[in-house]
Amino acid sequence: MDTLNGPPLHYVVYNWIHSGHFTASISIMIDHLTAAMLVMVTLVSTLVHLYTVGYMKDDSGYDRFFSYISLFTFSMIMLLISDNLLELFFSWEGVGFCSYILIVHWYERRPSWLAANKAFIMNRIGDFGFLLGIFLTYTVFGTLDYSGIFRQIPAHVNDQILPFSAFHSQTSASVITVIALLLFVGAVGKSAQIPLHPWLPDAMEGPTPISALIHAATMVTAGIFMIARLSPIYNASHTALLVVGWTGAVTAFVAATIALTQRDIKKIVAYSTMSQLGYMVMACGVGAYGAGIFHLLTHGFFKALLFLAAGSVIHSLGGEQDIFRMGGLSKYMKLTFVTMLLGSLALSGIPPFAGYYSKDLILTEAFKDGSLGHVFWAIGVTTAILTAFYTFRLIFMVFTGKENFAHDGHHGHAPHESPLVMTIPLMVLAVGAVFAGWAGEHYDIIGYLSQSMTVPHFSASPTISEDTLKLISVIAGVVGIVTAFLLYGRPSSIPVVLSRTFRPLFELSQNKWYFDEIYDAVFTRPMIFLSFILWREVDKGVIDMVVNGVASSCQSMGASLRRLQTGQLQNYALVMALGLFGMVSIFLFMK
């Protein structure tokens, strides 16, 4: 509790490694950033655990699932309280490993292990860059402790690295920029930013509780936390901030366009997560780390709510996830409907719900960042319209209109409200979705978080008042909701007409901008072909030939030596006599 209002707490648990000049300890740091994150992570995780009791009660892997999500939460907590990059990396890998084993929980299903493999490979690519960044950080600063790194940054701001000096003597880059970008590669993979994002929607193959935990409180938030924690490094590189900002803005927009045409209820919410993470990354790119973390905190509540409510719908319909096979569920699942509606309003940025305060703050801070910030702001406002549209498309398709579902064949009854053990977490999260944003603004969460992060100073001043910017953002959300109502809130043929009229755009969205197809053509198939060639020409043509050749030679030699074993005593006596004669001859010759 002292950390909530006092200085950061540093505690060394034990000295771990001491080798030459390299030392590493298992230590804890709890500052304002950590304290705020711990509150959200532990609360959401607790509610997900409670929800899981009801959702997974008939699952054969019930005990195994609980052990894994507990390990998942532990890994995230360790990541938050780490005091150096080495600890951060081990915790980083911990949440990655836990996500893999939880996505593949239903390992007998092919889509589950394919999704888990994709998540594992995509994150390994990001983690490779992250690890290189850690190596370079130690090379430059001689330490992996946060405090030691931050103290030395001013002395290394002008240091140059010459990665292309062999080709062009004038080509160089700031070593701080290279470090920041390498570390950011890790965040791109972990927080599902373009181009390492395709694993996140596929992760929906896991049980719904783990989808909620990955998207709201643990896995994907790790990248945002890392950028905020290492804000002094990013502030020292304008180039790195530019890359971060553009990555977030593009990801937010692209993910929102993909969500427009998806049919799977969980994947719609998953792409909304990817889009909102883009907002957070964009906020970090304009130096508004506090706004990014504020949105991360509010997002944790309403995104967990949306996922768990989606799980409640799926549970009620016996596993159905296609929103086109739902409809009219509000009269069967009133509590789920109300809580999911509250979460949707928060996601759409409608006041006074949580998302309004945090997302609008990001857009306002982006607008303050000069001309490029205006571009980010425009992308953010456009994305806000799309967000409200696809969110309420889901609401109208699932809870209103004609009933398109079949009765639950497993239970033999109509859709029904989920048990209390599943709806209590929904109600608690709904409170957060409504009041978390107001509480954050009322108690100055930005000022609180800024004590743990350094914020760059921008000279640009906004040409539009903050109230006007907020009003524009709210109007964007309302436009999206009204449009969704006109197209899906009542019987209409307009969606079909639009999908046919703008078929190329519709297919681009429905096929997720063809990222999977492009990666399959550019990376997967060539790698499979190369693997086949290496197997045929190197493995079988060289390695097997050498191994089998040695074996054949030994076999031939053994067959030759076997002829000496005749079984006839006189032959053995002759050989012994010849051997004795040879030894005596050598002895006499030597003498």
Q: Which residues pair with 439 in a beta bridge?
A: none
The 3 state secondary structure assigned to 523-580 is HHHHHHHHHHHHHHHHHHHHHHHHHHHHHHHHHHHHHHHHCCCCCCHHHHHHHHHHHH
3-state SS class at 15: strand
User: For residue 447, which amino acid is it?
Assistant: G
User: Which stretches in the chain have pLDDT values below 50?
Assistant: 1, 164-171, 409-411
Count of CA atoms in the C-beta half-sphere (13 A) of 227: 41
User: Rounded to an integer, what distance in angstroms lies between the CA atom of residue 580 and that of residue 587?
Assistant: 11
DSSP codes, 170-193? T--EEHHHHHHHHHHHHHHHHTT-
List Cβ neighbours of 368 (8 Å cut-off, separation of 6 or more): 286, 458, 460, 461, 462
Q: Which residues pair with 14 in a beta bridge?
A: 26
Asked if 292 and 362 touch (Cβ cutoff 8 Å), the reply is yes
- A 10 A CB-CB count for 119 gives 27
Asked if 211 and 204 touch (Cβ cutoff 8 Å), the reply is yes
Asked if 421 and 51 touch (Cβ cutoff 8 Å), the reply is yes
Angle between helices 334-347 and 420-442 (to 10 degrees): 30
Which pLDDT score is estimated for 427? 95
Which run of H or E residues covers position 345? helix 334-347
Chain position carrying tokens 């903050």: 466
Which pLDDT score is estimated for 91? 93
- How far apart, in Å, are the Cα atoms of 514 and each of 194, 198, 254? 13, 10, 12
Closest by CA to 271, choosing from 213, 195, 215, is 215
DSSP codes, 396-407? HHHHSSS--PPP
Largest CA distance in the chain: 115
User: Rounded to an integer, what distance in angstroms lies between the CA atom of residue 276 and that of residue 98?
Assistant: 23
How far is C-alpha 115 from the geometric centre of its chain's CA atoms?
13
In this structure, which long-range contacts are made by residues 554-559, counting pairs with CB atoms below 8 Å and at least 24 apart in sequence? none
Which pLDDT score is estimated for 473? 92
Closest by CA to 100, choosing from 37, 1, 189, 170, is 189
Closest by CA to 235, choosing from 161, 155, 153, is 153
User: Rounded to an integer, what distance in angstroms lies between the CA atom of residue 91 and that of residue 513?
Assistant: 33
Phi-psi region of 328 (alpha: psi -120 to 50; beta: other; left: phi over 0): left
3-state SS class at 308: helix
Q: What is the DSSP letter of 520?
A: I
Which pLDDT score is estimated for 166? 43
Which pLDDT score is estimated for 461? 58
b/e burial code for range 246-256 (CB count within 10 A of at least 16 → b): bbbbbbbbbbb
Which pLDDT score is estimated for 410? 47
Which run of H or E residues covers position 17? strand 9-19
pTM for this predicted structure: 0.88
User: Rounded to an integer, what distance in angstroms lies between the CA atom of residue 118 and that of residue 203?
Assistant: 9
Asked if 296 and 363 touch (Cβ cutoff 8 Å), the reply is no
3-state SS class at 161: strand
User: Rounded to an integer, what distance in angstroms lies between the CA atom of residue 586 and that of residue 591?
Assistant: 9
User: Rounded to an integer, what distance in angstroms lies between the CA atom of residue 354 and that of residue 427?
Assistant: 15
Chain position carrying tokens 């790195």: 240
Asked if 423 and 312 touch (Cβ cutoff 8 Å), the reply is yes
Asked if 204 and 267 touch (Cβ cutoff 8 Å), the reply is yes
Decide the pairing of beta strands 22-30 and 160-161.
Answer: unpaired
Closest by CA to 229, choosing from 79, 41, 99, is 79
List Cβ neighbours of 195 (8 Å cut-off, separation of 6 or more): 188, 515
∠ CA 47-50-55 to the nearest 5 degrees?
A: 115
